[in-house]
Amino acid sequence: MPSHSEPATQQAHQLAAAVGAQLYPASVISRDGALFCLLRQGQEKHLAIFSPGERLPVGGFHGEPQGTLSGGWRYWRCPRDATNARALRGAFPWLAPQRLGVARSVGCGDRLGLATPGHVRSVAKTFLDPDTGQERPGMRPIFAQQSIRENSRTGRTPQEVLDDAMWGVFQAGWRRGYGADADHLKSREDVDATLAAGYTFFTVDPGEHVDGQADHLRGAALQERLEALPWDLLEDSLADLRRRYLGHTFHLGSLALTFDPESLAVAAVKYGRAVAHTAALYRHLLAQAGPEGFELEMSVDETETPTRHLEHLYIATELKRLGVRWVSLAPRFVGRFEKGVDYMGDDGRTSPEALARFRQDLAGHVAIAQALGPYKLSLHSGSDKFSIYPIVAQEAGSLVHLKTAGTSYLEALRAVAQVAPELFRAIYAFARERYPEDRATYHVSAQVARMPDPATIPDGELPGVLDQFDARQALHVTFGSVLNARGPDGSLRFKPALLAILDRHEEEHYAALERHFDRHLGSFVG
């Protein structure tokens, strides 16, 4: 049986010292007399297998035998590649992504592939009461999370995202399980690529099938679009739709909802095609992975107008009618969920009135999720929304999935600003130039004119740039341009140096992430 014990760790320390390497102690696993661990030599990390025998104790691994050490230990130096990642997941089940179910959870996007040990440090605290030292229900983590759009901008494959997260889980010694989120999937091809890589959580984004004009249609124009819905794909008819919804009051805990003909037509026109698309991708997943091989989230958050409570009721009821099973749903809540900054009301301010309106809106969505599920409400663009975390924790309880992404990249830049100010200054100046173009694919409001001039900021004050609204948002949305920027000779301009600095100063990087995620998660478990 695999185990982690103090004697095994002490033995691994001695063996690592014998080969001139630094040991990551939390990574040590003992199995069948052999030791598996992560070592660092210079700037390179590798999987080390120490065995008392002449052969590798577990199949599937590959590496170079390095000879025999004192005590008869054989040492294999194994690269951190996809083959050995797959072998580790096969040998030690906690290193493979798992389904998390309807439990309070957090998604930790990592655009650089280096953040997981920092995420682990913060997530681990949620499972331990700081006052009593007793175990408590924590935040179940998704450590591998990236959308297809983000993959294209970072130059990483779904397999690389998952493997990078797994190596971080191995390094940090996390054994409570984690998920892998194939985020914002839009097609069967997206599903197939992420399923083949080993993902367990699939976020369907049917935003292209949401009719954003439905809120503004009335009369004949609305009726025309209603009749044109793909009724065959919905396995429905207009007459049956009306029969199910009209003339009924839906009692959902403290919430009572009633459709009239117009509100039903708007809900169906706005979300009917999205429901059909989600059901199609769900059935494709079901055919490929089986009912126990995955879990599903539906996301309609990236739309212009909020998801009304009646529309949420329509979505959930229709998904159930079509046999779809899901663990979380991301509606478009009221207010503004801009990238990298706190929650704002529609007027751009985080006012008491805006927060009260959000609470009222959220409470209705929670009532629906409890009555028709239970399933979690997923807070997309959830990074840095500190003003609403207490509200979400109070209203939703455990029925919440907090999804973060670019905030980890920003905290990596904070670490760079601390230890390599000139590199950060160059990245920030480039981001200011790129922002007017890169903002086109995001809902953001930062203005270049309000961003501090990098040339005027002393080195010691550069980390504080990450706390300035406009600069933080600009750095958030320009990550793809920064990572893909090339110099006159065609070589990557920033990415190699950025990764090298973070690797060399990994403790500073992990500490920045830990502090930042403590702020995110504290409201949900405190």
117: preceding bond cis by omega (within 30 degrees): no
Angle 197-55-2 (CA atoms, 0-180°, nearest 5)? 60
Calpha distance 357→350 (Å, rounded): 11
Cβ 448 vs Cβ 434: under 8 Å: no
Does 183 participate in catalysis according to the annotation? yes
Calpha distance 468→460 (Å, rounded): 15
Ramachandran class of 166: left when φ > 0, alpha when ψ lies in -120 to 50, beta otherwise = alpha
Q: Do the strands 376-379 and 29-31 form a parallel or antiparallel pair, or are they unpaired? A: unpaired
Per-residue H/E/C for 434-450: HHHHHHHHCCCCCCHHH
How far from chain centre, in Å, is Cα 288? 23
Which of 297, 411, 438, 470 is an active site residue? 297
Does 110 participate in catalysis according to the annotation? no
Within 10 angstroms of residue 7's Cβ, the number of other Cβ atoms is 9
* Residues 6+ positions from 130 with CB-CB distance below 8 Å: none
**Would you give the DSSP letter of residue 94?**
G
Angle 299-204-265 (CA atoms, 0-180°, nearest 5)? 55
Calpha distance 312→275 (Å, rounded): 11
| Sign of torsion over alpha carbons 461, 467, 473, 475 | positive
Calpha distance 335→385 (Å, rounded): 12
Ramachandran class of 60: left when φ > 0, alpha when ψ lies in -120 to 50, beta otherwise = left
Q: Do the strands 64-68 and 400-404 form a parallel or antiparallel pair, or are they unpaired? A: unpaired
**Would you give the DSSP letter of residue 246?**
T
Within 10 angstroms of residue 440's Cβ, the number of other Cβ atoms is 8
C-alpha distances (whole Å) from 141 to each of 13, 91, 119, 168, 448 are: 29, 21, 9, 13, 35
Computed on alpha carbons and rounded to an integer, the radius of gyration of the chain in Å comes to 25
Which of 183, 295, 361, 384 is an active site residue? 183
Give which of 175, 41, 153 is closest to 96, Cα–Cα. 175
Calpha distance 471→448 (Å, rounded): 8
**Would you give the DSSP letter of residue 465?**
G
Catalytic residues: 183, 297
